[in-house]
């Protein structure tokens, strides 16, 4: 009896084991570029399906009989200390991959031809292309795992082969694949673009293709495979919730479904609902699996901090040329989206980032969350604000000074307090992006009658020498409340001019009741 497939969250997908979308359509331009003999780049964040797509494409090309296509990973060569050692390792990896993937008459020469270090890869690929009766297509996966002079040498040898007069005596098409675009290889090679002469020795590339995240329709298609195999349906609301939380990031899409099916074990006889998916989102955030941990460990890299901190602080970015380079780097990591606005790639990443950066604050908060719940099961939000005011007077400035993200320290202290009180009972939705000038928070507290209590908060900072943000904050909060359909909200202004703290009530431009906390 054939076992039921499952949602994959580790390694590349296999059609016989995993629910998966057809890989090749996720990179539609690739085949056209290969047919034209182009050299090009494919990049996407980790665990986006790059390897699955490339392996499938190589397999399909070989099955059609027009090309000899070989996929291999450069990662094992990353430990090489010299160009000569790296060349030997890469050629060995290529030979082993060719033995598994293509016919004997298409495989490389054995042994590889002798050549001086720094030219061995070029001579080896040239000899292979001459020997192979079919056009040779090579996929260099994880190429950005190579470092320094080794990476420069590999790219330079590929460029030399592409530009040589005997172009037909070199691989027909080469695809470099990694987490970053080729323009960022200068950072991998040592950080100084002048060492490369151009943006890269691989400047003969025709294009850089980014593997896209799943669309809503593709998420539904993937989950439908589980329905067809088991009979268990994902409700439209559950699919929508999964897409909203993940924004189609492939690993997250699979991880959410895996959490519901394998960890929460929702019975097959029951449909998966948006409530199940809400729980799966929270469990994934709390568990902080390897995929999420690998992202948050980068938060204290200077290049990453320069992009994330203005989002949390609500400040404008500077017109610094290095900022654009950092922005491209953080985009390629998958931490921020590829759209017009600079914002965290999806709500799950957004929540994980906030919790990681507020973890130190939370550990210093000694309150009982149950003391904020009324006998009727409501969250006493006014008490939450009053007690935060007292907490800030005693501890706020000290904790703020301890924050690595100093520009956003006040906001992070408040979010840490809020999460300490709400955690385990309700949920917090966060919205922050570069240039917004604020952070919007929505507390969703479940009530006994299955309804929810919603509390909307906006955070702003009054910095010395700057205009009072109150009028703008009230207008912005009005828009946020209008979008949520709420008649009241809370505006928190962190006043850095040493004004006395206060908790008062005011009105928004449209007449909504606003609780104003100035601290």
At a CB cut-off of 8 Å and minimum separation 6, what does 395 contact? 364
- Rounded Cα gap, residues 476 and 9, in angstroms: 40
Q: Return the closest-CA partner of residue 446 out of 212, 275, 268.
A: 275
Model confidence over 151-165: pLDDT tens digits?
Answer: 889 998 998 998 887
- Rounded Cα gap, residues 6 and 272, in angstroms: 15
- Average pLDDT of span 318-339: 80
Residue 104: is its pLDDT beyond 70? yes
Chain centroid to CA 303:
15
- Average pLDDT of span 211-227: 95
Residue 230: is its pLDDT beyond 80? yes
Q: Which residue has the higher pLDDT, 237 or 393?
A: 237
Least confident of 80-84, 129-133, 348-352, 431-435: 431-435
- Judge whether 248 and 223 are in contact, CB under 8 Å: no
- Judge whether 343 and 432 are in contact, CB under 8 Å: yes
How confident is residue 183, by pLDDT bands cut at 50, 70 and 90?
A: low
Q: Where are the alpha helices (DSSP H) in 392-500?
A: 397-401, 409-422, 470-484
Q: Which domains does the chain have, with CATH numbers?
A: 24-210 (3.40.50.300), 216-287 (1.10.8), 356-518 (no CATH)
Model confidence over 456-473: pLDDT tens digits?
Answer: 999 998 888 888 899 999
pLDDT at 200: 53
Q: Return the closest-CA partner of residue 163 out of 319, 155, 517.
A: 155
Least confident of 173-187, 342-356, 367-381, 436-450: 173-187
């Amino acid at each position: 009896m054939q076992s039921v497939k499952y949602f994959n969250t580790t390694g590349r997908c296999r059609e016989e084991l995993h629910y998966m979308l057809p890989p090749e359509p996720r990179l539609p331009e690739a085949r056209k570029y290969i047919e034209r003999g182009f050299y090009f780049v494919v990049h996407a964040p980790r665990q986006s399906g790059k390897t699955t797509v490339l392996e499938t494409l190589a397999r399909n090309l070989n099955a059609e009989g027009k090309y000899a296509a070989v996929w291999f990973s450069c990662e094992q060569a990353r430990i090489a200390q010299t160009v000569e050692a790296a060349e030997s390792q890469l050629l060995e990896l290529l030979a082993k991959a060719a033995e598994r993937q293509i016919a004997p008459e298409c495989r490389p020469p054995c042994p590889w031809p002798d050549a001086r270090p720094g030219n061995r890869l070029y001579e080896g690929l040239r000899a292979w292309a001459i020997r192979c009766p079919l056009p040779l297509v090579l996929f260099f996966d994880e190429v950005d795992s190579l470092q320094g002079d080794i990476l420069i040498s590999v790219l330079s040898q590929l460029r030399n082969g592409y530009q040589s007069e005997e172009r037909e005596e070199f691989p027909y098409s080469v695809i470099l694949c990694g987490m970053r675009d080729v323009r960022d290889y200068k950072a991998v090679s040592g950080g100084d673009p002048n060492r490369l002469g151009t943006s890269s020795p691989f400047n003969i590339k025709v294009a850089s293709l980014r593997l896209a995240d799943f669309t809503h329709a593709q998420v539904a298609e993937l989950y439908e495979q589980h329905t067809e195999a088991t009979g268990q349906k994902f409700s439209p609301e559950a699919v929508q919730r999964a897409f909203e939380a993940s924004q189609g990031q492939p690993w997250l899409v699979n991880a959410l479904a895996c959490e519901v099916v394998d960890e929460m074990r929702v019975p097959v006889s029951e449909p998966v609902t948006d409530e199940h998916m809400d729980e799966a989102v929270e469990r994934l955030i709390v568990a902080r699996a390897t995929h999420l941990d690998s992202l948050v460990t980068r938060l204290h890299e200077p290049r990453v901090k320069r992009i994330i901190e203005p989002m949390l602080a609500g400040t404008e970015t500077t017109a610094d040329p290095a900022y654009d380079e950092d922005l491209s780097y953080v985009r390629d990591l998958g931490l921020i989206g590829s759209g017009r606005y600079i914002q965290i790639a999806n709500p799950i990443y957004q929540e994980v980032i906030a919790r990681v950066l507020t973890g130190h604050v939370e550990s210093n908060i000694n309150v009982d969350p149950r003391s904020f719940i009324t006998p009727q099961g409501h969250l006493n939000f006014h008490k939450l604000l009053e007690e935060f005011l007292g907490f800030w007077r005693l501890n706020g400035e000290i904790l703020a000074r301890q924050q690595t993200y100093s520009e956003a320290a006040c906001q992070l202290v408040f979010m840490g307090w809020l999460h300490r009180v709400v955690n385990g009972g309700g949920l917090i939705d966060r919205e922050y992006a570069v240039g917004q000038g604020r952070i919007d928070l929505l507390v969703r507290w479940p009530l006994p009658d299955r309804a929810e209590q919603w509390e909307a908060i906006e955070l702003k900072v009054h910095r010395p020498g700057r205009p009072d943000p109150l009028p703008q904050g009230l207008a912005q909060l009005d828009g946020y409340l209008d979008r949520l359909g709420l008649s009241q909200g809370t505006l928190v202004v962190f006043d850095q001019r040493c004004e006395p703290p206060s908790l008062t009530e005011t009105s928004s431009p449209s007449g909504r009741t606003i609780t104003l906390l100035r601290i």
